[in-house]
Amino acid sequence: MQKRLYNKEPLNKLLVVKKPMYISSNSYLNKIKRKYKNKKAGFSGTLDPFACGCLIVAFGQYTKLFKYLKKTPKKYKAVLWLGVTSYSEDIENIIDIKDEKTLDIIRIENEIEKLKGDIEYLPPKYSAKKINGKRAYELARAGIEVEMKKQIMSISDIKLLSYNHPFITFEATVSEGSYIRSLAQILAKNLNVVGTLSYLERLNEGKFFFENEKDLNPIEYLNLQENIFLADKSLLDDGKKISIENLENKNDGKYIIVFEDFFSIIQISDKEVSYILNKVTI
């Protein structure tokens, strides 16, 4: 008799897993699906195959919550390997390795300190950015030249952890959508050296930290203001249209309404109320 890999029963679950190095985020998600025996799952915030660390995973109805989660800022630990050149700005596509000059640690600290604030940069060509509907890394691997558009990343905190030549280890807290590979290239350029990332670990995404895959209550992690429903909750049970008079806060915006066994996300616009998600089981 064939062993059943997945359960048929729906599963609502929010957790943080720790992706290991040298596996894609999608491949690791498949392992997590098999571990919890449920097919309906997704993740937020792709990590490059060579990177490791915090990956937010949701099952069932919770997969629809990613855009409302408190996921910023993000903190990373990274190692810049001096003297190494790579197509992808990491250790997966190394072109050349050479000896690089030893740097003064005070100079490194000063250049790292200068990176705080908003920085204009080019995302890596080997990235998940979409260009005409295709991922940039797919085009790059196919040998198709791609032109990346400049973007802005915000560095709220960055510090040197150690310098053991030829390795510079630093920690950076950045806005969503930032690329640490690009940040490392900016640092290398400012130091007048070449280098590539040899290690990258995401330590947290906003309020999300890896804590042995413990179950998380999604309500505690939603970046939404709570509204009070003044009528009987059976209106929500039936999915009937909600009147703005049924709500304590009548201002335009997106809100969460919480009950003992479920919650709903609604939007108020011009005194009209609409469901974004109705009856998400807790």
d(C-alpha 277, C-alpha 265), whole Å = 5
Active site residue 48: yes
d(C-alpha 273, C-alpha 244), whole Å = 6
Separation of first and last alpha carbons in the chain: 35
Give me the amino acid identity at 153: M
Exposed, middle or buried: residue 205 (CB in 10 Å: 0-12, 13-18, 19+)? buried
Residue of 219, 211, 232 whose CA lies nearest to 263: 219
Angle between the 105-113 and 180-190 helix axes, to the nearest 10 degrees?
Answer: 130
CB atoms within 10 A of CB 232: 9
Task: Please answer whether residues 174 and 155 qualify as being in contact, where contact means their C-beta atoms are separated by less than 8 angstroms.
Answer: yes
Task: Please answer whether residues 16 and 54 qualify as being in contact, where contact means their C-beta atoms are separated by less than 8 angstroms.
Answer: yes
Residue of 96, 131, 88, 91 whose CA lies nearest to 139: 131
Residue of 193, 231, 211, 12 whose CA lies nearest to 111: 193
Three-class SS of residue 28? Answer: helix
Q: Which helix (H) or strand (E) holds 137?
A: helix 136-141
d(C-alpha 211, C-alpha 190), whole Å = 36
Give me the amino acid identity at 23: I
Catalytic: which of 48, 157, 215, 270?
48
The residue written with tokens 């937010």 in the block is: 56
> Hey, which residues are catalytic here?
48
